[in-house]
Every structure is written in structure tokens, then in C-alpha cells.
A and B are shown apart, each in its own frame.
Chain A
Amino acid sequence: MKKALVVTMLLAVCASTGFAEDFLSVSGRLNLRGVIPLNNNSATEYPSLLGRVKIDTTPPTWKFHLWLEGGWDGSVDLPAHDHSVLKTWDEVYQSTTPFLEFKELYGAYSTDILEIRAGVQRFSWGRLDEYPVNDLLNPWDYTQFLRKSLEDRKIGVPSLSARVSKGDWNVEAVWVPILVPYRLPLPTERWAGSTEITALADQPGVEVLTREPDLPARNLKNSSVGVRLQNTGPVEWGITLFHGYDPRPVFKATTLVVTPESGQLVVDPGIVPDFHKMSSFGLDVAAVKGDWSFRAEAAYAVGRYFNTQRELWGYPSDITPGRYDLNPNEHKSDTIEYGLGVDYRLFEDCLLTLQAQQTVILNRPETLYDRKFETLFWANLKNGFLNQKVETNLNLAYNPEHGDTMAKANAWYVFTDSWKAGVTAVAFWGPSQSLFGRYSKNDQIEAEVIFSW
């Protein structure tokens, strides 16, 4: 990774001096962000200064692509937990600032019908926004979950992909040789949400340890594969097969250990991120009818894991020194997930997007927090004004089974080709274990200034 960083810097220098103007295309942006929390008891967030550089070689047959991000992340609890600058593929808890991360870094070889890519890649499979059920190749970074867009949340994975395109047909095969774990914030950080661990961390005189999980052995047997066949006729459709590690977080309960140390309690909560293999068979379609654009997808997943209700994990009501064996808290079930999304243009520069999706847990015991049917409704209204100098977005999400909601509104003003500024307000409601309710301390207003080149 360090070699890649040196190559990146050399390429950036070459490009900036005009040395390789005909050979390289370079773009980037700087983003200064500040957050005003609206809840008194929420974790602090400092201002952030984040940068992004994208470098592409222009010759079409052999291609090199790089997307590097980095900067000072104000959501990290200071002093930073991990002082390595480069984000790795080995750890779940990577709270570090300043940081550098290769979001994408690959070489590609293309002919008229074939494209082979090798390196760090992100994929976008399926059709739905926010939670595409067939988009399973990249784990997510949950350290700023729900304030980042879906694509920004995705962690690039080292992978080999091949895509064959002929007429209306496309076949893409992807091999991810190693498990790259999802990333989670520390319990004291702003986007940790409400969990059993954050409840402990909130108590005075308690220090909570976070334990990295033992990742599955990095061998061929533990790699992940995906295949997607797509047809782009009048009704577009695709079939997706995935076999590999489920990128969605689930936790294993082991042993709670509470130790007195220097006048405070040090708690190992005995909850570690867990990883399980699963298989998924999916189908997606897209079509346009009149003023409506429709998208739908469905997936049958074999062997997904879910956590039971937190009250059943076996935590004692009072935290006193000792060891407490926790109860098994994972349950395996097949699921069916499906969803439908529509775009409708209300008037010029105003687009309404609606989406409904549902997960059915086929073998659900009463102990699970998730219901047999879990539904999510999303609505987004995007509006442009003054020839797109001003853009506004209103986003609402609702889960009827638990009654949790998220509302987000933002407005952007474009000053010039390079400068724009925006304000985003977000609020959450709902029970503490629900998807949105767990962030009910995270209501905030955020201001951003972006310079791009």
C-alpha cells in the first residue's frame, strides 16, 4: 500500500506539472465540514478537512485508475485509537485521523467486448437506491453511517473482475480473494449509535474496550465470488449470483469481563463483530413507462445471520467486577428480500423518487429483534433552481414495523465551477435498537464548503 502511495504522489506531481497532460486525467476536491449537534448528550464532532484525488490514464486499451481519499476526520474520538495513516483491510475499528484510503486502485485491460480489472474496486450491482439487495461485493464503512451516500459508504476490495459485453448482453464475474471486514465506529464516537456497548461507555467511570474479531483465514476457500448476467433490451433485467461473506454487520456474544483498574471499571463487553458466508440468488429489472421509470430487484439469500433482542444477550443489570458468560445471540435463517423503486418527474428539474422494500426472514424465532417482515419506505424529492445553481433534496425514510424514521434536508449553492457550499439537517426518531432510532442522539446540522478541480 505504501508503494501505491508513492506511485500516486509521483503521478499527481507529473500531472500537475503538465508533464503527462495527454496521458493522464486528474481531478480532485477538498471538503471542509462542520457539524452542529442538536442533542446535548451526543458525542463531539470536530471540523473535518477531507480531500479526494482521482487519476485516470487516458489510453483506452490499458488503463490505470486511482481514487484516493484522506484528510482530518472530525468524527474520530481524539486522541485517535489507531495511528496508522493508511486504512487497512484487516480491522473493523479503524478510528484514525489524519487518514488515507484507497477507495479504488486498479489496472484494466479492455478490448471491444472484454474488460479485465485487477486491484481495489467498488461495484454497483442491482437497481435500488440505499439498500440494493444484490449489491453484496463491497462491505460498508459505518463510521459515518447515514450521513454518507451509499457509494461513499462502500469500502474498495482487492478483486479481479472480468466483463464481457456483446450487443444487449453483459456478463460480469468478480473474485474477491480475501475477506475485507466492514468498519465500525468506536463506542464513544458520534456515529456509534445506541448499542449495548455504547450504553456501557456512557456510564461515568467506565472504560469500554473494543476487541477486533478473529477474521476467517485468508485462503481460497474463504474468498467471495459474484456473477452477474444482464440484458439491456426494452425491459432491462439482470440475474445475480453471490457466494461469500455477508457484508452486513452481526455480532457474537462471548464473555463480559469487568475489571477494576485505577479507580474505574474497564469493561470488555464480550461482543465482537462476526462474519458468515452466505449465498444469494437475485433478479432485477428496470423499465420506463410514460413519465415513470421503474426499478425492482429481489434476492433469495441462504444462510444469513441475525442478532436476537439485546435484552436476551445476558448482560447483568449492574456492572460489577467479574466475568459473565453471555447467551448465544445469533440466529441463522434464509431470507427473501425484494423492493420496487420509481422515479417521477414532477416538473422541470424536480424529481420524485419513491422506494419500498421488504425483507422476509423465513425461519424467524420470537427471540429476534427483526420481525418476520421488515419494511423500508424511502422518498426523495430533488429540486433544482436557477439553472441548477441551487439544488435541494428532501429525504424521508420510515420503517413501519418499529416505527423509526429519518428525515434529511439539504441545500447546495454553486458559486463557480470550483466552489459550492451546502447545509444539511438530519433528524432520527424511533426505538434504540431500530435502524434509524439507534441514531436518535445524532440530530444535527452540517455545513460544507467544497472546492473541486
Chain B
Amino acid sequence: MIKSRVGFYLFLAVLMASPCAFAMSGRDVYEKVQEVRERGLDRKTEATMVLYDRGGGKRTRTLTEYGRNASPEAYKVLVVFNSPADLKGVGFLIHAHTFADRDLWAYFPEYKRVRRIPTASQDDSFFGSDFSYDDFSGPPNLNDYTYKILREETFDGKPCYVVEVKPKIRRKYTSYIAWVAKNLWVHTRIEYYQDKELYRSGAFRDIRTIDGIPTPFKIEMENHKTRHRTVLTVGNIRYRTSFPNELFSQRALERGGK
């Protein structure tokens, strides 16, 4: 009897010491992250992107992003560049029917034509920055990934779950490791790997709670292969915007969201 009790406690001790001992699973963490993302879908963001190349050169882009929770479909996003002059009026539009199925369109005023673009380019550089199109494309489909909590640690003064996320479908990266702030359920750091090689990383700083939604106001993304980095600073963000469907049409894309 005593032997069996000792065995039971030993089993519990081993269980608690193993990764399964975390109060949440990696999937649970990302369901919380997704919940925060979905609450923030109705929004208008004005942001500035500064691109720094390794030679010290600097380019600045300003953009406005409009988002809408498109229930029963997933969401709609319209992004329009306001500067520099070469990019002014350039935009792209996303209709996400589900979190896994999206239609993308791009508009270049130079050609005066809206063009459908394949989703295959979602991991490509977003207009020369170190962000990808996917970073601007709304929440992902949780079922397209596997999640594993690696550890808990503090980053930037915030206690975080460190979660390894692996895509089940072909992506430019083989995995990413994300630091997810406990209780806020937003990323504070992210590292993208191609096999075991780190190629892109980002830090999410100046996290403020706007309308109950934790929002990073400064995101620094760096490409470790090219040593190019981009700093995105949110100038203004407004949630619960309830934009009409017409704002997410090809006509609105051509008109720069106006």
C-alpha cells in the first residue's frame, strides 16, 4: 500500500516536472491570443514604418489600416500607403472567408488596375520592409499549426509563455518561437526559424491597453540574413470602429479607403 502511494506521488512529481505540467497547453495559449486578436479586428490604425538598411540608409512609409470583423465570414482588411510619393495610394485588400481561406487584391495607382494576387506570397516582404504580408493579414487559422510550450520566462519585464509554433502547411519558415505575455495574451517577442537557423525576429514594445485590448505601439522586426530592420510605430489606433462593408470593396481600394 505504502509502496503504491510512493509510486503515485513519484508519478505526480515526474508529471509536474515535465512540460505537460504547464497549467495551459500551447494551443490553449494561442486560443487566448486568437481571442484578443479577434476582439481587435474592428479597428483603424495609422502607423509609420521606418526601414533601416545595414549601410545606415533609412526609408519611411506611412500607412493606414482598416479592419472589420466580417462575421459569419472571418474578417476584412484594407491597407493603404499614404507616403512616400512613389507608394501613395498603393493598397491591398483581404477578404478572409475563414481564417484559412483568403482572397487578396493589390492596387497600384500607376497601373490604375486592381489585381488579384495569389496567397502564396503571404510570407514575402511587405513592400520592402521586414514584415511579411501575413503580418498585416489578420489572425491565422489555429488548426494550421501545432503548438508546444517550451518554458516560462520574463521578457521585457513581462512574465511570458515561450511557445514553439510549427506550421502544418508549407511556409517560408519551419517554426517560430513566440513569447506570449501572460494575462495580456499578445506577443512580446517572436523568432522565425528556417530549420534551426534564426532568420527573422521581432520585439513588441510599448504595450498599451486601448478599449480593453492590449496593443503594442512599437514593433521592431529584423532580418538576420540581410541585417535589415524595420520599426513600425503606431501613431493612432481606434477599436470598435464598425466600418461599412463598402470600405472593403475594390472601389474603396482604388480610392485609397476614401
Chain A positions near chain B (C-beta within 8 angstroms): 27-29, 58, 60, 63, 110, 112-113, 115, 122-124, 127, 149-151, 163, 165, 167, 170, 232, 234, 236, 286-288, 290-293, 343, 345, 348-349, 384, 386-389, 414-418, 420, 452-453
Contact = CB atoms under 8 A, between A and B. Distances in A.
A151 B110 contact: yes
Q: For B57, B84, B85, B117, which residue has the most chain A Cβ atoms within 10 angstroms?
A: B85
A358 B115 CA distance: 22
B128 A234 contact: no
A170 B60 CA distance: 35
A27 B85 contact: yes
B135 interface: no
A115 B254 CA distance: 12
B53 interface: yes
A216 B115 CA distance: 37
B120 interface: yes
Given A58-B258, A127-B113, A165-B251, 15 more contacts: A63-B258, A124-B111, A165-B249, A170-B250, A287-B116, A290-B120, A293-B117, A345-B120, A348-B123, A349-B125, A388-B127, A388-B128, A416-B59, A417-B84, A417-B85
Q: For A63, A236, A417, which residue has the most chain B Cβ atoms within 10 angstroms?
A: A417
Given A27-B85, A170-B250, A112 B244 contact: yes
Contact of A28 (B85, B123, B249): B85
Given A293-B115, A384-B128, A452 B244 contact: no
A453 B83 CA distance: 9
Contacts of A417: 59-60, 83-86
B116 A288 contact: yes
A377 to B, nearest CB: 20
Interface in B86-137: 86, 88, 103, 110-113, 115-121, 123-125, 127-130
A135 to B, nearest CB: 10
A389 B53 contact: yes
Q: For A124, A236, A288, which residue has the most chain B Cβ atoms within 10 angstroms?
A: A288
B251 to A, nearest CB: 5
Contacts of B246: 112-113, 165
A352 to B, nearest CB: 12
A149 B125 contact: no
B76 interface: no
25 contacts: A58-B258, A60-B258, A63-B258, A124-B113, A151-B111, A151-B112, A163-B251, A167-B245, A170-B251, A232-B249, A234-B103, A286-B116, A288-B116, A288-B118, A288-B119, A343-B115, A345-B118, A345-B121, A349-B124, A386-B228, A388-B128, A414-B59, A417-B83, A417-B86, A452-B84
A28 B88 CA distance: 11
Nearest to A123: B112
A115 B59 contact: no
Contacts of B117: 288, 293, 343
A292 B53 contact: no
A407 B226 CA distance: 32
B63 interface: no
Contacts of B60: 417
Contacts of A293: 115-118
Q: For A58, A122, A150, which residue has the most chain B Cβ atoms within 10 angstroms?
A: A150
Contact of B118 (A58, A113, A291, A388): A291
Contacts of B112: 122-124, 151
B172 to A, nearest CB: 8
User: Which 8 residue pairs across A and B have the least CB separation, nearest first?
Assistant: A388-B128, A124-B112, A452-B85, A417-B84, A387-B128, A291-B120, A27-B85, A60-B258
Interface in B123-176: 123-125, 127-130, 172
A348 B124 contact: yes
A171 to B, nearest CB: 11
Nearest to A230: B250
Interface in B205-238: 226, 228
Contacts of A349: 124-125
Interface in B33-62: 51, 53, 57-60
Contact of A29 (B85, B118, B128, B249): B85
Contact of A388 (B115, B123, B125, B172): B125
A15 B64 CA distance: 22
Contacts of A151: 110-112
Contacts of B57: 389, 415-416
A415 B123 CA distance: 26
Nearest to B223: A387
Nearest to A391: B128
B202 to A, nearest CB: 16
B182 to A, nearest CB: 35
A58 to B, nearest CB: 7
Contacts of A149: 110-111
Contact of B86 (A286, A287, A452): A452
B171 to A, nearest CB: 12
Q: For B113, B172, B246, which residue has the most chain A Cβ atoms within 10 angstroms?
A: B113
A112 B121 CA distance: 32
